[in-house]
Each structure stands twice: as structure tokens, then as C-alpha cells.
Amino acid sequence: MNPEPQKSSIFKVIGASSLGTLIEWYDFYIFGSLATIIGSQLFPADAGASALINTLAIFAAGFIVRPFGALVFGRLGDLIGRKYTFLLTLVLMGGSTFLIGLIPSYSSIGYAAPILVLILRLIQGLALGGEYGGAATYVAEHAPANKRGFFTSWIQTTATGGLFLSLGIIVLTKNILGADDFADWGWRVPFLLSILLVGVSIYIRMKMHESPMFAKLKTEGNISKNPLKESFSHKANFKMVLLALFGATMGQGVIWYTGQFYAQSFIENTCHVDFNDSRYILLWGIAFATPFFVVFGSWSDKVGRKWIMLTGMLLGIIFYRPIYQIFLDDTDVTRIEQKDIKEISNPVVTRTLIENSSDSLITTTSQVTLLSGGSFTKIQAHTKYADPGKPATISPDVFKDKKLSTPVFWKFVFLIFFQIILVTMVYGPIAAFLVELFPTKIRYTSMSLPYHVGNGVFGGLVPFIATLIASFSGSTPLSGLWYPIGIAALSFVIGAVYLSNKKPDHGEADH
């Protein structure tokens, strides 16, 4: 068991580790938060819905390589130490994020734009694959065994904190620059700002000391000579890796990314809620729910990790479809009756000549304000043919930029809050859970791989796979939810049967 550290010392460790990890998550998630705008910059103007799907695929690529980063940097962390390994990951992440902000658009360099961004996303994924395991291990190895859940849960807040920071800076930048300038070039500002945050974090991390457990192993000459071999060729260790993946991190990952990223994507791209409203909803939900990472992390020290995490998965399985049905129903403006309308603005009519023809596209745009306080933009379009004998083709009405009434806005905040509470249940205890599965000398490698396969691959693919499933012919907007529900259900069953709920009252994993 580790000696009880002084409170001032452990909180310095947590603060230094958390700041860098928060910034890495911020860097990693700006891309997903701006997927719609980035898609319009990286792909041809006529790409339509495929631009969003392709952009989400590039976003997902960063998640897919995270396990490889876990192997590369996990091995380094177990060979040379925790401190310098996650210092390197911070530099790689910050540099890649800054460069994404400088990549020219498709109109300037064609398909080289998405290819360059893809390369930088892969570097980001590799870096994040090494960051989380290092930070969680570093904090856990400073903490007493009976308070690991509490202390490591502070690291767990950084993923949601990074998302909160990215959303806040995006909304602030857009409001300062205006919607047009933000869509044109201002979206780059959050990427470029990250270099300042990374610089501060590098300075702080340079002053950190090595983990006492790892330093002791190194002094005694007991560090692993081949962490990868010891982690995955020894039957007992490999069994723990598989159990951690399929019984915990896989389900935890889909709950995390459904409750935060897919929720935002669904509200914005499926429900067509206004850009600012969709982000304010998530910001409020995150702000209210984030303290519960520490609540559930601390509680897991008393009652065990297993059932807290599995309960979070089970609640997601039960409630996701009803929650997302409410999102759809409350933003369905086709249900609105004339008596609900306060005002309809004078329509703006535009006529655009269709390329390579004499036909025209006529669009009529109106702003509809409701008595409830909500509003939306209605776009009616029809094609007028040059041939007078050919009747016009009328397109379905399009409704977008929906601003919610105050009661509906706060209902959505509550539903996001509830989903993030589930995130805190599955995510708050998991760092301590993973640390306790593996011995110190292979801990960085062994815990990083199942975490990043479960969280990065299974979880990170939620926005892409769910959006793709929902786009198939015959699918409904809720069809995409079957992916996270199915993965969470499988993980729940495996975890319920095979995971131990032993209370962490001693430090076997330290030896």
C-alpha cells in the first residue's frame, strides 16, 4: 500500500495532471463540436449530407488509432516513466490541433485538405491514446488505495471539462465574430488558441516529479523489460485486459459518447435546433452534472466500482429511445397550428439559375415566431422550368434554426443532464477500476489498451455509426441508437456475470 500523501501534495498532482489532460480533450473535441462547419470547408459545396458523414468519419479515425497510441506510449510509460511520456503526448496533441487551424479549405487545395486533416487527426488519436493512461496512472500511484476512486475521479472530469471548454470557446468566438465570419474563417480560432493552453500546461508538467511507485521500481531495477509481452502474452494479465474491455470500458464508452457527442449532433443535425441553443443546452447539462464524477468516484471507494458502472449502462439501455423521442417530438414544427403562431416575417424570395440549364430554383424564406417564445426558419423551394408546359417541381418544406421556448429549452437541459449523470456513473469510477486490475510495472500499458479500445473505438464511433445507420433507406431518426444500446447491453451482461465488486480496501495492485 502507498503511504498516505499530504493533501496539498496530492492535489498538486491532480491539478497538474488534470490541466494537461483537460487541454488534450479540448484539442481532441473541438473537431467534433464543429463537424458541420468543418465538413463544408473540407469537401465540395455540393457534397450535401455526405460532407457531414465524411467529416464524422475523419473524426472517428482519431478514435480508431487511440489503441495504437495506448500501446506505443503505454510501453514508453512503463519503460521510461509516466512524466515524460505524457509530456510528449501533450506536445503532439497541441501541435496537431494548431496545424488543423491552418489547413486551407477544399476550394484552395482540393482533396488535399481532408487528407491533411485526417493525418493530423490520426496524430491526435495516437497522442490521446498515451495521455489518459499516463494521467490516470500517475494520479492513482500518488493516492492511497482506499481513496483511489475519489482522487482519480478528478482526472475523469477532464474529458467532460474539455468538451465544456471547447463548446464555450466556440460559442464565444461565434458570438464575437458573427455567424458568417465564423463559418468562413472564425472556426479556426478555437484550434489556434489551443497552442497557448498547451504552452501553459507544458510549463506546469515540466515541474512535475515522477510517480513514487514507478520511481521505486526503477531504483530497485524491477521495471518491466517488455511491457507489451507481459501484458498480453501472460494468460492472467490478458484475461484481465479482455474483461476490462468487454465488461466495462466498451459499455462505458458508448454511454459517454451518446450522452454528450451524439446528443449534440442529434439535436443540431436531426432536430435542426439553432447552433447556439444546441450548445447552450449541452453547456448547462455539463455544468450541472460534472460534480457527480467525483461523487460516484468517491462512492465507489465505499461500495465498489462494479454496480455503479453497470447501473449507468442499464439506465442508458432503458431510457435512450424515450429521451431521443422527446427531442424529436418537441422540435417537430409540423405539429404547430395556426393558433400557436405569433408572427410570420415578410418572406424573402430568391431566384437562382440552375447550372447548365435554363431552369430556376425559387426559394421563399420566412421567419416564424411562436406564442410560446420559440421560433424557426421555414424554407419553401420549387423548381421553375423554362418550358412553360412543364409544371413546377415543389420540394418538401425545410425547417431549421429552431429556437426553443424557455420551458422546452430547460426540459432539454434536464434530459442532457440525466444522460451525463449516466456518464458520471460509468466514467467516474473506471480509472480506479482499471488501475487496480494490473500490477505497477505493466499498468500504463495494460490499462491503456482496454480503455482506448472500449472508449475510443466502440464509444468514439457512436456519432459516425449512429448517423450512418439513421441515413439508411427505411431507417428512422432513432435507428442509430440501436448501436450504443446494443453495445451497452452486451457489456452489462458480461460485466454483471464476470466482474468482481471487491471493495478497494487494500493495495494488491501496487505490488
pLDDT in tens, the chain (511 residues): 444 444 447 777 777 777 767 876 787 678 877 888 888 888 887 666 677 788 888 878 887 887 888 777 766 766 666 667 767 887 888 888 899 899 998 888 988 988 998 999 899 888 877 766 667 777 777 778 788 889 888 888 888 888 888 889 998 999 999 988 998 899 999 999 888 888 887 787 777 665 565 566 566 565 655 666 666 667 777 888 889 899 999 999 999 999 988 998 899 989 999 988 999 999 999 999 999 999 999 999 999 999 999 999 999 999 999 999 999 999 999 889 888 999 999 889 898 888 777 888 889 999 999 999 999 999 988 888 877 778 888 888 889 899 999 999 999 999 999 999 999 999 999 988 888 887 766 776 777 778 888 887 898 888 889 988 988 878 899 999 999 999 999 999 999 999 887 655 544 444 4
CA angle 300, 306, 308 (to 5 degrees): 60
Rounded to whole angstroms, the Cα distance separating 365 from 382 reads 12
- Nearest one of 272, 254, 279 to 32, comparing CA atoms: 279
CA angle 3, 88, 459 (to 5 degrees): 85
Residues whose CB falls within 8 Å of the CB of residue 362, separated by 6 or more in sequence, listed in order: 349, 350, 351, 381, 382, 383, 384, 392
Predicted confidence at residue 508, as pLDDT, reads 45
3-state SS of the chain: helix, strand, coil percent to 5?
A: 75, 10, 20
Kindly state the DSSP code that residue 335 receives in the 8-state scheme: G
The owner of cell 474529458 is: 159
Contact of 302 with 280, CB cutoff 8 Å: no
Q: Is the dihedral of CA 431, 432, 433, 438 positive or negative?
A: positive
**Whole-model pTM over 0.75:** yes
Q: What are phi and psi of 478, to 5 degrees?
A: -90, -5
- Residue 79, classified by CB atoms within 10 Å of its CB into exposed (0-12), middle (13-18) or buried (19+), is middle
Predicted confidence at residue 387, as pLDDT, reads 76
Helix (H) or strand (E) segment spanning residue 400: strand 398-403
Residues whose CB falls within 8 Å of the CB of residue 461, separated by 6 or more in sequence, listed in order: 60, 63, 64, 483
Predicted confidence at residue 449, as pLDDT, reads 78
Predicted confidence at residue 225, as pLDDT, reads 59
Predicted confidence at residue 298, as pLDDT, reads 93
